[in-house]
Chain A
Amino acid sequence: MYQTGNMVKELAEKHGRKRESLMPILQEIVRKHNYLTDDVMVAVATELDISAAEVYGTASFYTFLDTQERGKNVIRVCKTITCSMKGKNDIVSTLEDILKIKVGETTPDKMFTLLETNCIGWCHKAPAILINDMPYTDLTPETVIDVVKGYMR
């Protein structure tokens, strides 16, 4: 959990308080903190004078605007057909083994969250994952361990 503080007010000053400011505000919060807390969604709603249910509705529509607590690093494994055919399942089980969590879970130290995602456009270099904003491609169970270890420090 992170503190909301003045962040939302500052973002509203920056992006404006119209309905169309909602997305950039939410995106910037997620960029900074990886997910949206209930408090932050209520604060955004208050700032923009819309309802909290609408903020939640918008956030829940977009996979990348998480409303569940996420770790510092969010790993998204592409689950679409090409990656599946090129060994996505092995990548997932390798990640589950080294992180000791299942897909959808966050490590107890809040360092990693493991998720699946729809196509991220790297079919030609499948299987692919995203860690935060960074794609890693042509993965094997061996190389994905190295990639994740790079984030463990």
Chain B
Amino acid sequence: MVTLKINEQEVKVAEGTTVLEAAKKLGVIIPTLCNHPDLCVAGNCRVCVVEQTGARTLIAACAMPVSEGMDIHTNSLKVRNARKHIVELLLSEHRADCTKCYKNQKCELQTLANEYSFGEHIFLDLVEDHSYSIDRSSPAFIKDDSKCIRCQRCVRTCSQLQHVSAIAVANKGAHMKISSFHDRPMSHVVCTNCGQCVNRCPTGALTEKTYIDQVWDAIYDPEKHVVVQTAPAVRVALGEDLGYDPGERVTGKMVTALRQLGFDSVLDTDFTADLTIIEEGTELLTRLKKVLVENDHSMALPMFTSCSPGWIKFIEHKYPQMLPNLSTCKSPQQMFGALAKTFYAQKRKLDPSKIVSVSIMPCTAKKYEADRPEMRSSGYKDIDFVLTTRELAVMIKQAGIDFRSLEPDNYDSIMGTSTGAGVIFGATGGVMEAALRTAYELVTGKPVPFKNLNIMPVRGMEGVKEATIKIEGTTEEWRFLEGAELKVAIAHGLVNANKIAKAVSTGKAQYHFIEIMACPGGCLGGGGQPIPTNAAIRQKRMEAIYSEDMHMDLRKSHENPEIIAIYNEFLEKPNGHKSHELLHTHYIERESY
């Protein structure tokens, strides 16, 4: 242990602790910008400078490890003046059109400016002298270099969490910028649109591309029937943007709010999550049978899940040789989209051209996914607009809804009923658990042999998880699987996905079924979730997801009555002709830069 003094208060911390962490322990707030708990120390914004008695210069609290007898002052005149200058220097290169900015009042630089730099600025405004560019090429996000303070949170995110490095630091000195490969448009590089950088950008330099106005237009158009679906992870995070603590479940209130916003039908992505389980589970069993029994290697094993559009784009760029291993199932969002303008339209006797399909997602990559040319199997754009959790919170505020006082309500029917298996799609390991709950029962006629159906080995925040499920007591049809050990793996965060993909592609790992989610923690840690998102908050959201599951009457996808009905009335059978037309897709090999 190391003893030091911060602002005359003594504190004992473990060796290796930074001054910043030690100060936090005392409740002393030191401002930061480039620092983020998910990322390595960078120490490049200098906002966290503090004074150490006896040291020649100010030190960066985020990067400086404590030492015995240190005497730190976080609020001396020297520190205050330095901080003011640092903030103003950052502002001199930042296009501060705050009232027009999407991040207005949610900007960390603005907060600091508010504390340190009001009145006349002492430095020249350099923004006009730079020829900054704004990249709007991606349907998911906007990269506005004129608001970038080069803290490099995005660069570290893309490299450390996602192993993508679609963006890196380019050039030097005054010309230094965050750049894609040769400054190509973000839509034409390896970027997966996961939005993890958007979630971590302290300013308005990286923001989701918002479709709020388009959605309002659709709602106000009397000709249009606007359906909305909400992803599993939204209900455990939306509250954070509306004044609740992390981990609060606000499902019922969210449904009421959506109805008050004017959506004609409030439906649930969890329904198509259940449907995904039936389709993907059937696909897995078919693949197992073809490869293991019939020795037909036209189908590839292991099978990867395909729910996460960030992961899909990652594998398309980085491991195109493994595209046959991807499940052909569309993601729940896109299954929903395809069914909304076919099955739902028929049932409700609506003209599909008059339906506007909106989805609320914890994800920015979903915006990109909805724009993929393959996603038009209904004959129309299957999903018209994708809003993030954050954008929904904005709409709720715009509408003047007092969220806290809302009475909880239930989803509408026809594609609104779901099970706990659908809900847990929002957490890493959830798709795997949901799939196992159904597949095991389909094959053996018995529920999975885990207490309360909770398959604990596939849960948790470990980057890569593995489990082996022994299949025993199979029914006649599935006799070939008797005694077989189903080997599964789960990864979240593309840095972990890359580990598994590499191990599989080089033959070092043998699995049957692999769940991959592009974002840390799965969808609950998605790029479209409330800011901040970090390990502690992801943990809270995960607990909320599993508690939501425990509170559901039905917890197995195949028991969802609307799923049974849709096969009887419309789809006929899993992986059948109609399923292939509407619920399955194909993938494209992409460039490696």
Q: Which residues of A contact B (CB under 8 A)?
A: 38, 41-42, 45-46, 50-57, 60-61, 67
Q: Judge whether A53 and B171 touch: CB under 8 Å.
A: no
The one of A45, A61, A67 that contacts B592, using a Cβ cutoff of 8 Å: A45
* B166 close to A (CB within 8 Å): yes
0 or 1 for each of B553-593: is its CB under 8 Å from A? (1 = yes)? 00000000000000000000000000000000000000111
A67, B182: Cβ atoms closer than 8 Å: yes
Please state if B179 and A42 are interface contacts (CB–CB under 8 Å): no
21 contacting pairs across A/B (C-beta < 8 A): A41-B181, A41-B182, A41-B593, A42-B593, A45-B592, A45-B593, A51-B164, A51-B165, A52-B181, A52-B190, A52-B592, A53-B165, A53-B166, A53-B167, A53-B593, A55-B181, A56-B168, A57-B169, A60-B170, A61-B171, A67-B182
Chain B residues positioned under 8 Å from A38 (CB to CB): 181-182, 593
Which residues of the partner chain A approach B170 to less than 8 Å between Cβ atoms? 53, 56-57, 60-61
Q: Is the interface of B mostly helix, strand, loop or mixed?
A: loop
In the complex formed, the residue of A with least CB distance to B171 is A60
Known: A51-B168, A53-B165, A61-B169. 5 other contacts (CB 8 A): A45-B592, A45-B593, A51-B190, A54-B168, A60-B172
| CB nearest neighbor in B for A50 | B165
Chain A nearest CB: distance from B44 CB in Å?
15
Query: CB distance A57 to B592 under 8 Å?
Result: no
For the complex of A and B, the 6 pairs showing the least CB-CB separation, nearest first, are A51-B165, A52-B593, A57-B168, A53-B168, A52-B181, A60-B170
B189 interface residue per 8 A CB criterion: yes
Q: Which residues of B contact A45 (CB under 8 A)?
A: 592-593
Given A53-B181, A56-B182, A42 contacting B592 (CB threshold 8 A) = yes
Contacts of A61 in B (CB 8 A): 169-172
A51 B181 Cβ-Cβ under 8 A: yes
How far is it, in angstroms, between the C-alpha of A46 and the C-alpha of B182 when the chains are bound?
16
Instruction: Compute how far the CA of A42 lies from the CA of B317 in the bound complex, rounded to whole angstroms.
Output: 13
B592 and A53 within 8 A (CB): no
Query: Nearest chain-B residue to A60 (Cβ)?
Result: B170
Q: How far is the CA of A60 from the CA of B183 in the complex (A)?
A: 11
- Interface of chain A: mostly helix, strand, loop or mixed: helix
- What CA separation (Å) do A42 and B189 show in the bound complex? 12
Q: How far is the CB of B149 from chain A (nearest CB, A)?
A: 18
What B residues does A57 contact at CB under 8 A? 168-170, 179
Chain A residues within an 8 Å CB radius of B159? 51, 54
CA distance A103 to B439 in the complex (A): 68
Confirm or deny: B428 has a beta carbon within 8 angstroms of a beta carbon on chain A: no
| In the complex, B180 has a CB within 8 A of chain A | yes
A50 to B246, CA, bound (A): 36
A51 to B593: give the CA distance in the assembly, Å.
7
CB-nearest residue of chain A relative to B163? A51
| Alpha-carbon distance between A138 and B164 when the two chains are bound, in angstroms | 49
A21 to chain B, nearest CB (A): 17
Closest to A43 in B: B592
Interface membership of chain B positions 169-195, coded 1 if the CB is closer than 8 angstroms to chain A and 0 otherwise: 111100000011110000001100000
| B171, B181, B190 pick with most chain A CB within 10 angstroms | B181
A50 to B498, CA, bound (A): 12
Q: Which of A53, A60, A67 contacts B189 (CB 8 A)?
A: A53
Residue of A nearest to B189 (CB): A53
Separation of A53 and B159 alpha carbons in the complex (Å):
11
Q: Which residues of A contact B180 (CB under 8 A)?
A: 53
A60 neighbours in B (Cβ, 8 Å) = 170-172, 179
In the assembled complex, the CB of B24 is this many whole angstroms from the nearest CB of chain A, namely 32
- Assess whether B181 is in contact with A56, with CB atoms less than 8 Å apart: yes
Q: A45-B592, A56-B181 are in contact. Are A51 and B166 (CB under 8 A)?
A: yes
Contacts of B165 in A (CB 8 A): 50-51, 53-54
Contact, CB under 8 Å: A46 / B167 = no
B484 to chain A, nearest CB (A): 35
Chain B, Cβ-Cβ closest to A46:
B592
Report how far A45 CA is from B317 CA in the complex, Å.
13
B487 to chain A, nearest CB (A): 26
- Determine if B179 and A53 form an interchain contact, defined as CB atoms under 8 angstroms apart: yes
Which chain B positions have C-beta within 8 A of A42? 181, 591-593
- For A46, list chain B residues within 8 Å (CB): 592
B593: chain A residues at CB < 8 Å are 38, 41-42, 45, 51-53
What's the least CB distance linking A141 to chain B, in Å? 31
Q: In the complex, what distance in Å separates the CA atom of A51 from the CA atom of B318?
A: 10
Nearest to A55 among chain B residues (CB) is B181
Q: How far is the CA of A53 from the CA of B166 in the complex (A)?
A: 6
Measured between C-beta atoms, what is the minimum distance from B130 to chain A in Å? 16
Most buried by B among A41, A51, A52: A51
Q: Considering the chains assembled together, what is the distance between the CA atoms of A67 and B182 in angstroms?
A: 8
Chain A nearest Cβ from B342, distance in angstroms: 40
Complex interface bits, B189-210 against A, C-beta within 8 A gives 1, otherwise 0 = 1100000000000000000000
Q: Mark B247-289, 1 if CB is under 8 A from A, else 0.
A: 0000000000000000000000000000000000000000000
Shortest Cβ distance from residue B262 to the other chain A in the assembled complex, whole angstroms: 42
Across-interface contacts of B181 in A (CB, < 8 A): 38, 41-42, 51-53, 55-56
- Contacting residues, chain B, for A50 (C-beta < 8 A): 165
Nearest CB of B to A151, in Å: 29
Q: How far is the CA of A38 from the CA of B168 in the complex (A)?
A: 16
Write out the residue numbers on chain B whose beta carbons fall within 8 Å of the beta carbon of A56: 168, 170, 179, 181-182
**Cβ contacts under 8 Å, B182 to chain A:** 38, 41, 56, 67
CB closest residue in chain A, given B165: A51
A78 to chain B, nearest CB (A): 18
Kindly state the separation between the CA atoms of A45 and B190 in the bound complex, as whole angstroms. 12
Assembled-state Cα–Cα distance A148/B73 (Å): 61
Chain B min CB distance to A22 (Å): 12
In the bound complex, CA of A140 to CA of B180 (Å): 42
Give the complex CA separation of A53 and B593 in angstroms: 7
Give A53 to B170 CA distance when docked, in angstroms: 8
A59 to chain B, nearest CB (A): 9
Residues of the A chain whose Cβ atoms lie less than 8 Å from the Cβ of B179: 53, 56-57, 60
Inter-chain CA distance A61–B592, complex, in Å, is 22
Closest A residue to B173 by CB, please name it. Answer: A61
B169 to chain A: which residues have CB within 8 Å?
A: 57, 61
Q: Which residues of B contact A52 (CB under 8 A)?
A: 181, 189-190, 592-593
Please, how many angstroms separate the alpha-carbon atoms of A38 and B189 in the complex? 13
Complex alpha-carbon distance, A41 and B591, angstroms:
13
